[in-house]
Structure 1
């Protein structure tokens, strides 16, 4: 007598896996909405949508690790969201704002930015199983993360918002700047990884006070503050390169032991895949 085949009940997707992916999807929606506001000429709202996408992108990976909801699906979704929110969306916003007045070269620079952002994400997805990653093992990133690259590319917009000078809207200025930021994203320059920074106990209060002041500045004078943050980040590049070269020299010395850091992958680039 044939026994009936018992089928195990289908298990649903646990909530802890849904939550971080939902945040990533919201980041994607925010980035795409920025394009919609750019089409209607609402430039400040368009930039704000990209900024919201960067905040959401910064917390989705942390939420996934907190609730133990990491998955390969989430990492791939995060990469696609980053390519659109921080590659396609800023490129189109800048093109509609300024680069359309220089049709061929302006569109070329917009294409370069969007494509280079996608190439950066693809490069790090492909390197997920590579054992030897010198920058990551030393606690550094390679090039500017895609949310940072998007923020830097829109620096002329911030300056235009709070100065009102049409000089910052000139495509002859914006086009080379966008291309330069695209190159920074795919470059091999060692940049600081915030996830590897460790604060000393006696300066934690000062760090909290600085974060509070930064938040207040972003609320009261957002474009001035974003301009300051962009300039400050660019100013750290020579120091990050020098710090990485120093670590590399120490590791090359006979008898020198520099412990490798296990740096948790930042949620911004791309999810759990960024070295």
Structure 2
């Protein structure tokens, strides 16, 4: 009988411990970054809805908003010291919807369906390239052999930048540039989408912009003024600003490649000097 009593006490204690573990409270600082990620996911899904309704300007704005939130959630997690494996997986899944599926659907419903088979092929290739790009990024995070300077670069075009840049034809059509929507133009757009897909899966380095987190005190007012002007321009001429940013990003790629190769050569030279010494 005493053994039975002890067994019941042990069982009650175990159940109490399990209940405590089950209802363990999660600090708010872990919730906020994931909430921002979910808001970005909502924008990506809303962009697909706007594309179905042929409201392509609003679809573009939703993708741009998702890209902004994608840049914020990681910084917020690092600032709050709340990075987690769950957050990383959620961010990757949301990125595939926001920057892989949504832009592909927007482009197909906007223009690529004029040449249905080729247009759908280009849309699928872009979405697949985004998935592969995200998978490679997740694996590369755990690479211990990367030099410290490599953190300044992304290997291949990052998915948020790819989503913004691949929508360049829409910006040009809905801006004062007035790109015409014709069948020959659709062929060019298909080739352009395939080019962006290639840049995403390639190993061509792109600047990461992670070093832009802090502003020198002497330039704070200048940077603040520049940000205010940029916001006003984006509000007044959204398509023109997005088109300009996309073109500038594409122009920067050769310079990023040259900078990456220069640092790679410098690193190799330093290793040779150490070996000789």
Output the TM-score relative to the length of structure 1.
0.87
**From 184, 199, 208, the counterpart of 2:224:** 208
Q: Is structure 2 residue 40 aligned with structure 1 residue 24? A: no
- How far residue 247 of structure 1 moved from its aligned partner, in angstroms, is 0.9
Within-5 A mapping of 1:230-241: 230-241=246-257
Establish whether residue 223 from structure 1 lines up as the match of residue 239 from structure 2. Answer: yes
Tell me by how many angstroms 1:207 deviates. 2.3
Distance in 2, matches of 1:210 and 1:155, equals 23
How far does the alpha carbon of each residue in 1:169-190 deviate from its partner, in whole angstroms, 9 at most, with x for none?
A: 8311210111111111111111
Question: Are the equivalent residues in 1 in contact too, given 2:50–2:59 (CA < 8 A)?
Answer: yes
Mapped partners of 2:68, 2:108: distance in 1: 23
Matched, 1:180 2:228: no
The answer as to 2:65 corresponding to 1:49 is: no
- Are 1:124 and 2:137 counterparts? yes
Equivalent residue for 1:66? Answer: 79
Change (3 A) 1:200 1:65: closer
Q: Does 1:150 align with 2:166?
A: no
Q: Tell me by how many angstroms 1:164 deviates.
A: 3.4
Report the 3-state secondary structure (helix = DSSP H, G, I; strand = E; otherwise coil) of the residue aligned with 1:69: coil
Larger relative contact order (CA 8 Å, sep ≥ 6):
1
DSSP-derived class of the 2:226 partner: helix
1:37 corresponding residue in structure 2: 50
Matched, 1:106 2:113: no
Residues 172/12 of structure 1: CA separation in 2 closer, same or farther (3 Å cut): same
- Residue 246 of structure 1: aligned partner: 262
1:166 has 2:177 as partner: no
Q: CA deviation at 1:43?
A: 0.8
- DSSP 3-state at the match of 1:175: helix
Contact 1:135 1:190 in 2 (8 A): no
Higher helix share: 2
SS at structure 1 position matched to 2:206: strand
CA distance in 1, matches of 2:29, 2:219: 34
- TM-superposed CA distance for 1:255, in Å, is 6.9
8 Å contact 1:160–1:168 — kept in the other structure? Answer: no
> Given the superposition, is the C-alpha separation of residues 249 and 20 from structure 1 closer, same or farther in structure 2, using an over 3 Å criterion?
same
Q: CA RMSD in A?
A: 2.2
- Per-residue deviation at 1:136? 5.9
SS at match of 1:191: strand
Per mean C-alpha deviation after superposition, the further-off stretch among 130-139 and 59-68 is 130-139
Structure 2 segments unaligned to the other structure (5+ residues): none
Q: Secondary structure at the match of 1:233?
A: helix
Q: What is the rounded CA distance, in whole Å, between the counterparts of 2:64 and 2:35 in structure 1?
A: 18
| 8 Å contact from structure 1 (residues 168, 174) kept in 2 | no
How far, CA to CA, are the matches of 1:134 and 1:95 in structure 2?
A: 40
Aligned pair 1:191/2:206, yes or no?
Answer: yes
Structure with larger Rg: 2
Q: Which moved more, 1:101-110 or 1:244-253?
A: 244-253
After TM superposition, the structure 1 stretch with the greater mean CA deviation from structure 2, 146-155 or 19-28, is 19-28
